[in-house]
Structure formats: structure tokens, C-alpha cells
Amino acid sequence: MTPDAVGEPPLADVRVVDLTTTFMGPYCTLLLAQMGADVVKVEAPAGDVVRYVGDEQGTGLGPVFLNANRGKRSIVLDLKQPAGREVLTRLIGTADVFVHNMRPDAVTRLGVRAGDVHAANPRAVYCVVRGFSSAGPYRDKAAYDDVIQASSGLAAVQGGPGEPTYVRTPVADKATGLMAVGAIAAALYQRERTGRGCAIEVPMLETMVSFTLLDQQGGYVFDPPRGPAGYARTDSPYRRPYRTADGHVGVMVYTDAQWRAFFDLVDRPELAEDPRFRTITARTVHIDELYRLLEEEVGRRSTAEWLAAFDARGIPAMPVLTVPGLFGDEHLRATGMFEDAVHPTEGSLRLARFPVDFAGSPRVDLRPAPRLGEHGPEILAELGYPPEEIDAPGNGRRRAGPADPTPVAEA
């Protein structure tokens, strides 16, 4: 938080009704919560499946769930039951944003199409995050991150000339979640001008095709193509963190000035005038030779020596950190990147904060990730249900219907 922060977070008056599960949708709604939105997480009786990933204590609060669902309130509704759909309809009436990642057949069966939501609340922004655009023949296919990395070209790019391979994090889920945040923010701004909500569809495949092609389209930008696809610098098999005498560094030598500085540093100043390396166009063609030179030279000195030398010459470089190493990094500690929290059942936690600062706005103090259905009674009270209906056993509202879970979302 900036020292002069006053007022409210950017989304302080926004309520999000969230029917998403797993990674993509919950990451989107986590970011909205971190900007101040009141996120009501609607779960089937069995709960979001990610509750149970790494859940060694059997509490339904595994590490991914604890990360992705901070700042949210949980209510359990069985949307197969009329009572569950009635509560959801009331919730929609209070919503600024309604977001889900259900497949089309479930959307129709449960009565939560865009027209249904806008009939209950014309001002709601309706957002579906899904695997494939509804305009194409893949519309009904199930989608998970691995499937989208494969079908978007990303796995082939990542594998290079060898076998296709996946990025070792669900990057398609997270990139699509980020895309959804931007789309929702734009739709809320549009609503301020028009007074009405709109429907948004954010498909994973199309998002990741756009994401991949930005730098990888190469000669296929032109029609007909004027060269191969790809980006020579990132395609180089020699582009990787380089081993030093005692560790690894990530270094990016890019501009004319940076390469001249590097050539001086390794006592090869004549290379700055070599036609292969004089311009960025020539260097792109001969990038493998340059990266082989980097690899050879970096191995001759320690990590500390290289970092000092690169910093002195304005060449971007950093040590390679492991995930545990992030928590000891001096810069991340100084910027308050990690927050200490105490969960009522899981104990002490260390979690990454929202990385963006809004000048003049306080940082949001997020509630811990909810136990399944934890906030059902208070949410029902806010919707106007009397105490006897909230507390009466078997009334079909607090845990709406039998424990026959309806998958709320696909992936």
C-alpha cells in the first residue's frame, strides 16, 4: 500500500457471484477479490474439486485451494434442486458480475444462460470462461490446461525441434483467467455508460492462440507466408539459464549497447563490428552462435561476479531462484510480496499478495479461503431469508438438496 493510501479499493462496491471451479475461473475471481470485490463462491455439495488436491489433513483445504480462493465466501447450493436454484436467482439479483465455467449443456439444464441471468438482473455482467468458443465445432468439448496447451500450438513451441512438451504450470488456465479479469473490467466500465450489463465469452483455446502467436507467428504474419513460423531468439536451443562456476544466472543481452558491453567484458571487442552481430537483424539470424558464446563465458566466473559485472554495464541479469528461494529474496521481502495469515483451521500461512498497487487505494485485507459452505447462513440472511428458514434442518437452502454433487464447472 502506498503511504498516502486513502479511500476504498477499486472494486469495493462490486459483488461477484462465482460458479467456477479448479484453476482458471477461481484465479480470475481471486484477482477480483484482491481488488476489493465481494466474491460469493457457489459450490456444489461436494465442493470445488481443487479443495482436495494435496489435502493431506482431509479438511477440504488443500494448498492450491487456499491460494486461489482467498477473499471469497462459500455457499453450498445443489442447483439440481428447486430450492438451490431459488437461492441462486436471489443471489443473481444482487450481483454486478456473474461468472462460471460450466459446459453449455449444464448451463441450459440449470437455467443460467445469459438471457436467464439478465432476466433476473439486467445490470449484471455475465462472463463465461470456457474451453472453446461457442461459434466453432469444438464448442461442446471438455477442456483442461494440458489439452489447450496442445491445441493452441504452445506445446509444440515449448518442445522446439524435439517432442512437444507442456509448460510446467497451468499457464493456459492462468492466462485465460487474466483475460477474463480484463474483459470483466471493460464490461463494468461499459455498464457505467449504458446502464446495462452484457454477456462475455472468454475461450481458452482462442486466448492461448492469441497468446502464442504474438511472437511465434513469424513469417506467417504475411499471406502467403514469407518465412517460417517462430521467433529465432526464443527458439534457440541455447536460450536457457546459464551455469556459472557455482550456480546459475538468467541473463538477457539484447540491445546494441548491451552486446558491445558484453563483448568488452569477455575481451572480445572486435565482435561488435562482426557483420553477424552488428545489428539486431543480423544477431537474430545468428542467435545460436551468440548464445553458445554466452554459455561458454558465463561458466568461467561465479554467480556473484557475473551479477556485479552485468549490473555495472546495464545488462539485465538475475540469479535463478527456486520456489522456496523466493521467500528469502531481499527485493520480494522489501516490497511486501508475501503476506502472513492465520487460517482458523489450517494455521499459519504465507501467501503472495496482489502485485498491483493502486495509488490512493488501500491494499485489501483478504479473508482466508472458506470452508465448504462456511458463509451460507450469513449470505442467506443478506438475501432476506428469515432465521427459521436458514437454520431449519432439511429445508433445502443451507445445503440445498442431497449430497449428490452436480459438477458446477468443467476445468
Which residues does the annotation mark as catalytic?
Answer: 173
Q: How many Å apart are CA 188 and CA 333, to the nearest integer?
A: 34
Strand-strand pairing, 72-77 and 399-400: parallel
Outline where 35-124 has alpha helix (H): 63-68, 82-93, 104-110, 114-120
Using DSSP, state whether 59 is helix, strand or coil: coil
Give the DSSP per-residue string, 328-395: T-HHHHHTT-EEEEEETTTEEEEEEPPS---TTSPPP-PPPPPPTTTTHHHHHHHTT--HHHHHSTTS
**CA angle, corner 364, sides to 362 and 100, nearest 5?**
135
DSSP annotation of 129 reads E
Residue linked to cell 438451490: 84
The kind and range of the H/E element at 194 are helix 171-194
Q: How many Å apart are CA 86 and CA 187, to the nearest integer?
A: 26
Distances (CA, A) of 300 to 293, 297, 306, 310: 12, 6, 9, 14
